[in-house]
Amino acid sequence: MAGIASTLHVADHWIEGVRCAVHDSGPGDAGEAVVFVHGNPGPMDDWAELIPEISGFARVVAMDMPGFGRSERPRTFDHSIAGHARFLGLLLDQLGVERAHLVLHDFGVPWGLRWALDNLDRPASLTFINCGVLEGYRWHRYARIWQTRGLGELFQAMSNPRAMRIALNRDNPKPLPRNYIERVDSFADRGHKRAVLEVYRSSRDPIGAFPEHELGAEAIAVAAKGVPVCAIWGDGDPYIPASFARQQRNYFPDAEIHLLEGLGHWPFIDNPQAVSTPLTSFLRRQLRA
């Protein structure tokens, strides 16, 4: 893949033979870090406007997960929630991150929650951005297309920057910047498009609903450990409606909830400062920084 150059410093790491692009900044090699995990379509550049302020008081790690951004697109990678959670864990082990303040968006939420369940002594806090435990959720129309064999492949083959721009700007409450769409398209090679299909298909249960019961059990287990939670949600999200934001308190009763007026599924792209303000405040309190 080529891709537009990142404004973040990026280095390659190899996890079980898979090349993974990683950003690591802030104070030295601290064992406690703020860990950003993107969703679909990524990549880690989504976080570029948030990282500089946070890296002033904490170690910050961000990555492109396999199939996304500048990372490798292995044909045999396990794109299930468990597969991505396992990869995330191996990466954090390699980087020496013992305690993680996870900042999660979209599919990053189930990947991060599953890792937290498997490592209950290591999550220091959780921040959900426009995703969470989605009880009663019905997949959005693009997800249903990607989950349908044949139709999903056709949709991906026909995807192009103009069509993407029209679709995203029609769906979201405000137009996404042209450079964001160009960046996403620059990484949308065949391997990435295949990964997107596999991510959605491996996460679908028999009735096509988000696996909320599995995630709910994981959330309850994590909540029992007293992990602080913050949910930040653009209230104009057309894919995961803001009604799900307050639902997070069903699983995390003390969760902070921040609804961002007029912002969509990628609020950190729509208005980075609107996300940075509650996120930085929450993280400073957790890190006592």
CATH of the domain at 283: 3.40.50.1820
Full pLDDT tens readout for the chain, 289 residues: 555 557 899 999 999 999 999 999 998 778 999 999 999 998 999 999 999 999 999 999 999 999 999 999 999 999 999 999 999 999 999 999 999 999 999 999 999 999 999 999 999 999 999 999 888 888 999 999 999 999 999 999 998 888 888 888 888 898 899 889 989 999 999 999 999 999 999 986 533 445 555 666 677 777 778 999 999 999 999 999 999 999 999 889 999 999 999 999 999 999 999 999 999 999 999 999 7
**Sign of CA pseudo-dihedral 106, 110, 111, 115:** positive
CA dist., res. 50 & res. 35, Å (int): 12
Within a domain: 255: yes
Range of the domain at 253: 10-287
Within a domain: 235: yes
Within a domain: 281: yes
Within a domain: 56: yes
Q: Is 100 helix (H, G, I), strand (E, B) or coil?
A: strand
Within a domain: 3: no
Within a domain: 5: no
Q: How many domains does the chain have?
A: 1
CA dist., res. 188 & res. 274, Å (int): 28
CA dist., res. 54 & res. 67, Å (int): 27
Within a domain: 2: no
